[in-house]
Amino acid sequence: MRLKPVSRVRSAAHRRALSGLLAVSLLVLAACGSESSDADEGSASLSSVTVEGKQGEAPEVTFDGRLDPSKTETDVVIEGDGEDVAAGDTVEAQWWIGNGYTEKETQSTFEGEPQSLELGDEVLPFLTDTMVGHKVGDRILALIPSDKAFGKFGGARFGIGNRDAAVIVVDIMGRSDTVPPPPTVPPLDGPQGEEKKPAGWAPTLLEQDGIITGLDFTEAHKPTGELIATTLIKGDGAKVKSGQTLIVNYLGQVYDAEAPFDESYTGEPAEFPIGVGSVIAGWDERLVGRTVGSRVILEIPPNKGYGEEGNADAGIKGTDTLFFVIDILGVSEAD
């Protein structure tokens, strides 16, 4: 079932819907990841984790033993003196995620600008639960079971298995008393901005009557296992922020496949929250910070896509590398 045209007014439910297979291939993420046995589960508590560094800068996190995946603990590592944070507030924040079983970092936003998001239903539980009740300026360390941190689908897209403990470091950088109104600028009909020469590794776009129909991998490199992106058009619009609803046209194709597994160019643009875990990690990590009007190609390895289980409904195996061409047509604040 396709979305109605983006120019029409939508309800909150419609704004969270995706067209056709995208609802399966991007939003319904399998709860894969490591399935550590009970004998292998750790027993260490949050006190065994050391966090060093200044608030607002990437933390240095060290572990002293595997963490208990059944515990929920929090600790304020650095105390701020700002305003209290409540549910529904719009905050600026940075976060770091680690796996308490493997003792490795799995995601960090500290390489870029602070993320702006409204604490509520659109935000993953670990962000809302960790920040609400704390202050601007706080650095919070949390130990949370995977299902409680990331919801019923678990944290596979964050490299956290179903029976692993999630270790979260959150810096609350600021708070806004008012939620900005949705922009009045309508979505674009297509990419708009400065044309760029794509990277040599990228597949070639196949078009018919000006509509993208697929990707040609003849001159493309073999997948590297890394999450990479190249810009074909650098948009001249607003910068995409975490928590916003993104309006895009896209086409997705498995490396060396003859046809795409999903696309929106022949139908209506898709809408979904970005930067908050509603889509595969590769989209969240490479679309936040880009500008409206941009056209990009993403190469997404399995661990930033659907993990070892893949996505059977979309015909994607756990070893498949995904390529997407994406046109960013607009952004609006999430309902």
pLDDT of residue 114: 86
Cα–chain-centroid distance for residue 131? 19
- Per the model's pLDDT, the better-predicted residue between 238 and 332 turns out to be 238
Q: Is the pLDDT of residue 199 over 90?
A: yes
pLDDT of residue 5: 29
pLDDT of residue 268: 93
pLDDT of residue 28: 34
What is the mean pLDDT of the segment spanning 188-210? 96
- Per the model's pLDDT, the better-predicted residue between 312 and 34 turns out to be 312
**Could you tell me if 157 and 277 are in contact, meaning their C-beta atoms sit under 8 angstroms apart?**
yes
pLDDT of residue 278: 86
Structure tokens at 98: 């680690």
Structure tokens at 80: 């701020």
Q: What is the mean pLDDT of the chain?
A: 83
User: Whose CA is closest to 299, among 242, 233, 244, 230?
Assistant: 230
Q: What are phi and psi of 287, to 5 degrees?
A: -100, -30
**Could you tell me if 59 and 53 are in contact, meaning their C-beta atoms sit under 8 angstroms apart?**
yes
Instruction: Look at 4-8, 95-99, 139-143 and tell me which has the smallest mean pLDDT.
Output: 4-8
Q: What is the pLDDT of residues 106-120, one digit of tens each?
A: 888 898 888 888 887
Q: Is the pLDDT of residue 202 over 60?
A: yes
Q: Which residues contact 204 (CB under 8 A, 6 or more apart)?
A: 215, 216, 218, 219, 220
Give CA–CA dist 38/36, Å, rounded: 7
Q: What pairs with residue 176 in β-bridges?
A: 90
Give CA–CA dist 33/64, Å, rounded: 22
Split at pLDDT 50, 70, 90, the class of 3 is very low
Split at pLDDT 50, 70, 90, the class of 1 is very low
- Tokens 């997948």 sit at which residue? 223
Split at pLDDT 50, 70, 90, the class of 152 is low
What is the mean pLDDT of the segment spanning 43-53? 93
Domains in the chain, start-ordered, CATH in brackets? Answer: 38-176 (3.10.50.40), 182-333 (3.10.50.40)
pLDDT of residue 27: 36
Split at pLDDT 50, 70, 90, the class of 159 is confident
pLDDT of residue 223: 96
- Tokens 């000006």 sit at which residue? 210
Helix H or strand E encompassing 126: helix 125-131
pTM of the predicted model, to two decimals?
0.54
Give CA–CA dist 67/100, Å, rounded: 5
- Per the model's pLDDT, the better-predicted residue between 64 and 119 turns out to be 64
Give CA–CA dist 242/334, Å, rounded: 10
Q: How many CB atoms lie within 10 A of CB 224?
A: 11
pLDDT of residue 119: 84
**Could you tell me if 287 and 245 are in contact, meaning their C-beta atoms sit under 8 angstroms apart?**
no
**Could you tell me if 261 and 21 are in contact, meaning their C-beta atoms sit under 8 angstroms apart?**
yes
Instruction: Look at 36-45, 199-208, 264-273 and tell me which has the smallest mean pLDDT.
Output: 36-45
Q: How many CB atoms lie within 10 A of CB 148?
A: 13
Give CA–CA dist 75/181, Å, rounded: 34
Q: Which residues contact 323 (CB under 8 A, 6 or more apart)?
A: 203, 215, 217, 220, 252, 253, 254, 255, 297, 298, 299, 300
Give CA–CA dist 314/288, Å, rounded: 25
User: Whose CA is closest to 290, among 327, 333, 253?
Assistant: 327
